[in-house]
Structure formats: C-alpha cells, structure tokens
Amino acid sequence: MGKRAVPVHSGKDRTRAAEAGASVERRETALEKTDRNWNDLLQELRVLQTGIQILTGFLLTLPFQPRFRELSPAQILVYLALVVMSVLITALLMSAVVMHRTFFQRRIKSELVRSSDALLRITIVLVGLILIGTLSLIFDLVLGAGAGLFAGASLTAVLTVLWGFLPRLIRRRALHRRGG
C-alpha cells in the first residue's frame, strides 16, 4: 500500500510527516510554483555556466601553447568544433537571462520557465558532447588517435548511464513507491 499524503500546515507538521515517512503536499499557488521552478532552473544554469566558463577558458588558451602547431588538420578541426560548441553553450545559457529581461514584468514567467527548461535540456546534451570531444582530443594528443577514440567512447557510455538511464531508473522507482 502507498503512503498517505499528509497536509502540511506548520513546521511541526512537516517534521511529523517526514518522520512518519509520509509524502508532504506543497501548499503553494501556481505563481509560487513557477517562482520555485525558476529558482531551481537558475541554480542549474549557474552550475553549468561555471563549468563551461572554465572549459572555454581552457580551450581558448590552447592555441597559445607551443605544441599547438603540431596538431594535425583533423585535430585542429576537432579543436575548432569544440570552441564553437563552447561558445554556443555560453550563448544558450545566456539566453535564459535575455528571455528573463525580455519577459520582465509581463506576467509570463511560466513561459520563461518552460522555454528555459527546453534550452537547458539542449545545453546539457551539448555539454555532454563537448566533454566527450575535449576528453577525446586530449587523449588523442597525449596517447594517440586510438586512445582518443576509446576515451571518447568510454565517456559516452558513462554519460549515457549517469545522465540517461540512472535518472530515469530513480524516477521510475520513486514513482512506483509513491504509487504513481
């Protein structure tokens, strides 16, 4: 049998519901839910933005390294594709801010949340690709093309499990436990 939802009215009720293992209903308006979702999205955007800024900075320093001249034409193409992807990811991350400015005080925050969610999903895919490409390029430069391909394929498998299968598995188990 599933656990019964317990209406929450105070901090004590929340504590009792949590201790009893019951699910806790949120008492929030549609606007409060939209605000909460927007704040959650902003946190995710901040994490991604910091990571991609560091990666972009790393990529932008490579042409100034003496060994950069030794790259093959294929390696240079991969490098340039990674730089373009990094800049595209930065633009996608910034677009949520631009939309916020455009939508500001227009009472369409729910559209902002939906649009930003879609952009964030695209961004996550591109981040995965840039991570795979960067790892592949580094292994290619250090150990050779075979090692680069192996490293890229290995990271593809890991990201597929961590970002694809695992969240769906956990979601399915949680929904099953909840009875939904």
* Mean pLDDT for the chain overall: 85
Binning pLDDT at 50, 70 and 90, where does residue 148 land?
Answer: very high
Provide the CA 22 distance to its chain's centre, in angstroms.
Answer: 30
pLDDT at 22 over 60: no
Instruction: Say what percent of the chain tops pLDDT 90.
Output: 54
pLDDT of 58 higher than 80: yes
pLDDT at 43 over 70: yes
Q: CB 164: neighbour CB atoms within 10 A?
A: 11
Q: Is the pLDDT of residue 136 over 80?
A: yes
Residue 169 CA to residue 180 CA, distance in Å, equals: 14
**According to the model, what pLDDT value does residue 107 have?**
81
Judge whether residue 81 has pLDDT over 70. Answer: yes
Q: What is the distance between the alpha carbons of residues 63 and 60, in angstroms, rounded to a whole number?
A: 7
Question: Phi/psi of residue 6, each to 5°?
Answer: -115, 120
